[in-house]
C-alpha cells in the first residue's frame, strides 16, 4: 500500500457515500493531521448504477463509473468502500477486493450477519481486513469499543435499542396513542422509515446488528438462522397502555447475554422495560447500547443510529483504521472455531401475558390452575374495567408471571388456549430486568 496519499474507491454514492465524500473534502486535512500523516486519502473512483442521476456533493464527473468492479480493478484504488447494500452483488465485490489484497470498509450488516463466515475466511486467507463500524448503530463507535476499549473484559451482557425506526414508532404509539399503522405512516412521512420498512419493523435490522456484536464479543460467528427475532408489527396501543399502567415502556430490545455454562443467549423482540431503566429514556430515532464487562462494569453508548452524517463518520473512522493497517491490525477475525447459543426455549425471564376471556366467574382460577400445573408462579393480575364498554361479554385479563423457561411457558399457554373461556390467542411480552 502506498505510504503517501491513499486511493479510495466508493461503491455507491447515495446518502452515505456522498456523506463520506463530504467529510473527506471538508476534514481531509484534519484527519491527516490527527493521524500524523498516515491517513492522507482521496477518492479516485465512484461506482454508481446511473450516471445521469443528479447527485449532491460535487464529486467530479470523471470519477464516476457504472462498472462496479472498477473500484477493485483500478490500480489507483487501494481501499474499497462498499455502500451498495444487498447481499449477492455486495458479496462478490467484497470478496474480489479481499482476494487482490485491498482492505474493505462496509456498513452492510445484513451481508456480514448472513455471509460473514465466507468473507472472514477470505479475509484470513488473504491477510486483508474488513472493517464495519458503520454496520452497527450509525455514528456510535460501538465496534471499536468492543474490540479495543473493552478488550480486557469478558462481556457479560449487551443490551441495545439499535433500530431507530422501530423506536420512533413505539414512542409515538406510547405518547400519542397512535395505532401501529398510523405511527408507521408518520415515520415514513418524516423520512425515518424506508419505503419498504420490512427489515426495520420485523426486527431483523436490529438482529443483524446484534449478531455482529455477539460475534465480536464472544469470538465465534453466530448463525443467523439460530437467532430468535420478533418485530413490532403486532404491538398494540392496549398493551402499551397496560405496560405504562404497570410501570413499564415497550422497547424493541436486542440482547446478547453470556451464560455461566459458556453458551450465549441472543434475541431481538419487543419487551417490557422498567421506566426507571436508562434505556427507557432513549427516544425517537436515537440508538443506545449498554455493555457490561466483568471488570469495566456497565458502559452506555448513545447517539444517532442512522443518517448521512453519523454513518459516514463511522465509514471515515474505518478508513483511517485501514490506512494504519499492519500485521497486528486485522480488523475483526473470529478467534473461536465454535460457540453455542442458548435455545430460545431455555431462556428465562418474567412475563406479561394478556388473555382475552369471556366475562364469567372462575376464569382466573381456570388459567391459574394450568399455570400452577406447569410450575409457573403468578406475581400479579390486572383486569381494568373498560369504561367505554362496561357491559362487554369479554374482558382483557393480564397475568404477570415469575421467571420461567420460555419453553415451559409455551407449553402452559398451549393448554390454556384449549380453555373455553379464551376468545383469542394470548399476547406475551418478556419483562426484562437488565
Q: Which positions are annotated as active-site residues?
A: 209
Give me the half-sphere count of Cα atoms (radius 13 Å) on the Cβ side of residue 73.
6
Q: Are 266 and 341 in contact, with CB atoms under 8 Å apart?
A: yes
Amino acid at each position: 500500500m502506498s505510504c503517501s496519499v491513499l486511493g479510495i474507491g466508493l461503491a455507491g454514492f447515495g446518502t452515505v457515500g456522498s456523506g463520506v465524500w463530504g467529510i473527506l473534502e471538508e476534514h481531509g486535512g484534519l484527519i491527516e493531521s490527527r493521524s500524523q500523516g498516515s491517513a492522507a486519502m482521496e477518492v479516485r473512483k465512484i461506482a454508481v448504477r446511473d450516471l445521469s442521476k443528479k447527485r449532491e456533493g460535487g464529486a467530479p464527473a470523471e470519477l464516476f463509473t457504472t462498472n462496479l468492479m472498477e473500484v477493485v480493478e483500478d490500480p489507483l484504488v487501494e481501499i474499497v468502500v462498499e455502500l451498495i447494500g444487498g447481499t449477492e452483488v455486495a458479496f462478490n465485490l467484497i470478496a474480489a477486493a479481499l482476494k487482490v489484497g485491498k482492505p474493505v470498509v462496509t456498513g452492510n450488516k445484513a451481508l456480514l450477519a448472513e455471509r460473514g463466515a465466507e468473507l472472514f475466511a477470505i479475509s484470513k486467507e488473504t491477510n486483508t481486513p474488513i472493517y464495519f463500524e458503520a454496520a452497527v448503530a450509525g455514528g456510535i463507535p460501538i465496534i471499536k469499543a468492543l474490540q479495543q476499549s473493552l478488550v480486557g473484559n469478558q462481556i457479560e451482557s449487551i443490551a441495545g435499542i439499535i433500530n431507530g425506526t422501530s423506536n420512533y414508532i413505539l414512542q409515538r404509539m406510547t405518547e400519542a396513542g397512535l395505532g401501529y399503522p398510523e405511527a408507521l405512516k408518520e415515520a415514513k412521512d418524516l423520512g425515518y422509515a424506508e419505503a419498504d420498512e420490512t427489515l426495520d419493523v420485523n426486527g431483523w435490522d436490529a438482529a443483524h446488528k446484534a449478531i455482529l456484536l455477539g460475534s465480536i464479543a464472544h469470538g465465534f460467528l453466530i448463525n443467523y438462522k439460530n437467532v430468535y427475532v420478533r418485530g413490532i408489527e403486532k404491538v398494540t396501543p392496549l398493551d402499551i397502555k397496560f405496560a405504562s399502567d404497570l410501570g413499564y415502556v415497550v422497547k424493541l430490545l436486542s440482547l446478547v447475554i453470556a451464560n455461566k455454562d459458556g453458551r450465549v443467549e441472543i434475541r431481538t423482540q419487543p419487551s417490557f422495560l422498567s421506566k426507571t431503566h436508562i434505556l427507557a429514556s432513549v427516544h425517537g430515532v436515537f440508538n443506545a447500547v449498554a455493555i457490561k464487562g466483568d471488570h469495566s462494569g456497565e458502559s452506555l453508548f448513545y447517539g444517532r443510529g442512522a443518517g448521512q452524517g453519523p454513518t459516514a463518520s463511522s465509514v471515515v473512522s474505518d478508513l483511517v483504521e485501514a490506512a494504519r493497517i499492519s500485521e497486528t491490525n486485522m480488523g475483526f477475525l473470529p478467534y473461536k472455531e465454535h460457540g453455542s447459543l442458548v435455545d430460545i426455549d431455555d431462556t428465562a425471564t418474567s412475563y406479561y401475558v394478556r388473555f382475552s376471556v369471556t366475562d364469567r366467574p372462575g376464569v382466573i382460577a381456570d388459567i391459574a390452575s394450568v399455570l400452577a400445573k406447569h410450575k409457573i408462579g403468578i406475581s400479579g393480575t390486572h383486569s381494568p374495567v373498560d369504561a367505554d364498554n362496561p357491559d362487554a361479554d369479554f374482558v382483557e385479563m393480564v397475568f404477570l408471571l415469575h421467571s420461567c423457561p420460555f419453553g415451559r411457558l409455551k407449553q402452559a399457554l398451549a393448554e390454556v388456549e384449549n380453555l373455553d373461556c379464551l376468545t383469542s390467542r394470548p399476547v406475551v411480552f418478556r419483562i426484562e430486568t437488565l
